[in-house]
Amino acid sequence: MPKRYSSKPRAPRTKKGQAFVDEERFGRLKEGEGKNPFYVNLVSRFRIQDGYLKRFLLVLFFPIQLVLFFSAAYSYGSLFAVLYASFGILEGLSGQRRRAGHVITNKKFKSKRRSRAQTRESLTLVCISDTHMRHKYFDDTFPNGDVLVHTGDASNFGSFNELKEFALWFAQQPHKYKIFVPGNHDMLFDEKFYDVYYKEWTIGKKESSLKIKQLMEKLGIIVLIDESIVIENIKFYGSPWTIIEHPWQTAFQLPADKMVTKWKQIEEDTDVLLTHSPPYGILDKCLFGGSNTGCRDLMRVVKEKIKPAVHVYGHEHGEPGIQQHIYQSGQCTYFGNAASVSEYYITRRNPLVFSITLS
């Protein structure tokens, strides 16, 4: 397996007897003390999936949902785009792009470890995200490629059994390399968050963050959490963080004004950036009203500093597809929202595909 490179700062040593898990992030909370509002806890205890909850609310508040639907259509500029975002239908009329070929990167990962035997002219990336346990609905048309990428929210409640089921499916795919960047639903990967909130999201005994990471590694799945890896001379960097959405306390989330600390860790020679969060204003529209939900600091860091060849993400289900941004220098970044379920959790069976050439 290719060697990975971590940009995560070393965690300070915990003083003996210290009771708080992470005072800066969670305040003065000890293990198992995290609390969500009662209705969030209800959703967790009865394992009510977001998709079913949204369908129920669609029926219950249909007049309001209808107003939001037409408001989104105005914002999107296309009724077909909203129908695809909502129900995964009429993809051909939605106006979105799902493939990008001959993507050029002029960055080179300078390392003595680079071997000519490992290089090739191009890599084909197949990208999915936000499958929420609906990976089993992908069919025989699922495209082959060199690297299979998933940018988070493979699960609904982040349990070991959910993540194990996904990992076994992911590992069985024919792509040579598999990269997984966790999302806010994949709670077991965020060890500190899980320590604080496991009683809210786990039915039964506390589960092991280490165990799921070891399983992924055993299956040959590359998990990137604020770290990078070089595959065939193309450098991938993965980060799972998103802006916190009160009152839903889920994994890998920070207040908007704290997010920049994570984006500053992204290595400047990154060719392919993989985040769970979308950047602000680029394929980040929320179906309910059409507002932009991405991170402004991520957008600035990507456009002004990193300028990767490809930036793939998910989290926001409402505006999937590929969009190209060309800089004044002539460089360009292909942005891709790879969310694989619609707003009402209907599977989109057509992943994003990028063909990347290393010049």
Q: Which is it for strands 253-254 and 242-243: parallel, antiparallel or unpaired?
A: parallel
Q: Quick check: bond before 279 cis, omega within 30? A: no
The pLDDT score that the predictor gives to residue 322 is: 97
Q: Give the pLDDT confidence of 144-166 residue by residue, as tens digits.
A: 999 999 999 999 999 999 999 99
Distance CA 342, CA 51 (A): 9
**Quick check: is 92 in a domain?**
yes
Contact 239, 262 (CB under 8 A): yes
Task: Give the residue-averaged pLDDT of 290-297.
Answer: 92
Work out how many domains the chain is built from and give that number: 1
Give the phi and the psi of residue 339 in degrees, each rounded to 5.
-50, 125
Q: 9 in a domain, yes or no?
A: no
> Which of 99-108, 204-213, 342-351 shows the lowest per-residue confidence on average (mean pLDDT)?
99-108
Quick one: pLDDT at residue 107? 66
- Domain around 180: 27-358
* Residue 5 domain-assigned (yes or no): no
Q: CA–CA separation, 229 vs 263, rounded Å?
A: 17
pLDDT in tens, 309-345: 999 999 999 999 999 999 998 899 999 999 999 988 9
Strand partners, 150: 128, 180
Decide: 252 and 183 in contact? Cβ < 8 Å. yes
Angle at 298 between CA 191 and CA 346, to 5 degrees: 70
CB 312 within 8 A of CB 352: yes
What is the token pair recorded at 146? 């060199």
Does 12 score more than 50 pLDDT? no
Report if residue 2 sits inside a domain.
Answer: no
Q: Is residue 20 part of a domain?
A: no
Report percent pLDDT > 90 for the chain: 56
More confident position, 134 or 34:
134
Query: For residue 312, is it within any domain?
Result: yes
- What are 246-280's pLDDT values in tens digits? 778 899 999 999 999 999 999 999 999 999 999 99
pLDDT tens for 39-85 read: 888 888 888 888 888 888 888 888 888 888 888 888 888 888 888 88
Sign of the C-alpha dihedral computed for residues 61, 62, 63 and 67 taken in this order:
positive
- 21-30 pLDDT, tens digit per residue, is 788 888 888 8
In whole angstroms, give the CA distance from residue 227 to residue 236: 8
pLDDT of 96: 81
- Does residue 16 lie in a domain region? no
Query: What are the tens digits of pLDDT across the range 194-225?
Result: 999 999 888 889 999 999 999 999 999 999 99
Range name among 90-99, 103-112, 185-194, 270-279 with the lowest pLDDT average = 103-112
Across 317-336, b (16+ Cβ under 10 Å) vs e yields: bbbbbbbeeeeeeeeebbbb
Assigned domain for 259 exists: yes
Handedness of CA 309, 313, 316, 317 (dihedral sign): positive
Contact 129, 153 (CB under 8 A): yes
Q: How confident is the model at residue 3 (pLDDT cuts 50, 70, 90)?
A: low
- Residue 204's Cβ-count burial label (10 Å; 0-12, 13-18, 19+) is exposed
Domain of 130: which CATH number?
3.60.21.10
Residue 117 has pLDDT above 70, yes or no: no
DSSP state, residue 306: I
